[in-house]
Structure 1
Amino acid sequence: MAEMVHVVVPVFAVVVTGLFAGLFFAFSVSVMPGLGRSGDRVMIEAMQGVNAAILNPYFAVVFVGAPVAVLACVVLYAVAGAVAAAVWSGAALVCLCAALVVTFAVNVPRNDALDRAGPAGRIADPAAVRGAFEAVWVRWNHLRTLVSLAALVCAVVALTVR
């Protein structure tokens, strides 16, 4: 049983970390560029819809599961004396935590402000609402993407060193 845990947990950590990075990557390379081509009200309405839809159990498993699984890897590797793997998992955890900090410090407050603006069709100046949201949100999402991808690389390397 213990051997299975030492295989399943690191593989799960890599999978959920890949999904975590993939989510931000998808926003960086397709969702936001696509919405960038739309009108102000359409962009606002679409992002308000995305912000509501993303709060679901699948997202929660990935968003919470990635750092928890990677932390579990740090502990498992450290207890097993696999120092190099523990260090790489620790680096992955630092990267995931950086992505979480950016998410809660920058992206979520902008999502909340977008929601507080009200229904897109009723916003008096949708260009101003979009202007306060889009450029900063996108820039910081690119950073989340990069640190999440770094976390994935570190988690994969942790699987290969022992």
Structure 2
Amino acid sequence: MELLHLIALIAALLSAGLMAGLFTGYSYSVMPGLKILDDRSWIAALQHINRVILNGRFLSAFLGSVVFALIALILGLFLDDRSALPWTAAGLAGTLVMFIGTMAKNVPLNEKLEAAGDPAAIPDPAALRAETEQTWIRWNHVRGIAALLALAALAGALYTTGQVA
């Protein structure tokens, strides 16, 4: 049981780390880099990014961060030493904030951008950008911070197990 718990914690830690890197990378490089684009080019760039990110690597880390943290929490309930449980619960909470924020805020904005169709045919691309850009960026910051906090908490859980020094 301890080995399975350790494996789940490591998988949760790695998945949360991948998501923290992705979302914070968007915050400090991708979105500021795209800011210079005109409205139609900005919409086209986001549409393309949103299409290509839906792949097995992204989905494995995105879903894995929640699933592995949950598995680690459940397995931790069956251990004699439950000192990692608060850290694991905090890690799970962070991954849930990241996941729910993405699904409730960023995904609907991505869908709105996609539904607008060909950027060259959008009658008022400035209005669409104004409707989506700042909210998308704000919620990306939230999910990036949540993933970073989850990463830190899961590192705390792993350290608390005494399996790593």
When normalised by structure 1's length, the TM-score is 0.94
Matched with 2:131 is 132
Equivalent residue number for residue 156 of structure 2? 157
SS in 1 for 2:78: helix
Structure 1 residue 9 displacement after superposition? 2.0
2:83 partner amino acid: A
Alignment correspondent of 2:143:
144
Who is 1:73 aligned against?
Answer: 72
Q: Which amino acid in the other structure matches residue 131 of structure 1? A: A
- 2:108: which partner in 1? 109
Q: How does 1:38-53 map to 2 (within 5 A)?
A: 38-53=37-52
Shift of 1:12: 1.4
Contact kept, 8 Å, 1:102 with 1:140, in 2: the verdict is: yes
TM-score where L is the length of structure 2: 0.93
SS at match of 1:110: helix
The answer for the alignment partner of 2:92 in structure 1 is 93
The structure with the largest helix share of the pair is 1
State the identity %.
Answer: 39
Whole-Å separation in 1 of the counterparts to 2:7 and 2:104? 32
CA distance in 2, matches of 1:85, 1:96: 16
Supply the distance in 1 between the matched residues of 2:67 and 2:28 (Cα, whole angstroms).
27
In the aligned structure 2, how far is the partner of 1:23 from the partner of 1:92?
A: 17
Do the aligned partners of residues 15 and 135 (structure 1) sit closer, same or farther apart at CA in structure 2, a change above 3 Å counting?
same
Aligned length: 161
Q: Distance in 1 between matches of 2:5 and 2:82?
A: 14
Shift of 1:3: 4.8
Superposed CA offset, 1:49-99 (max 9, x none)? 011111111111011111111111112222113322111111111111111
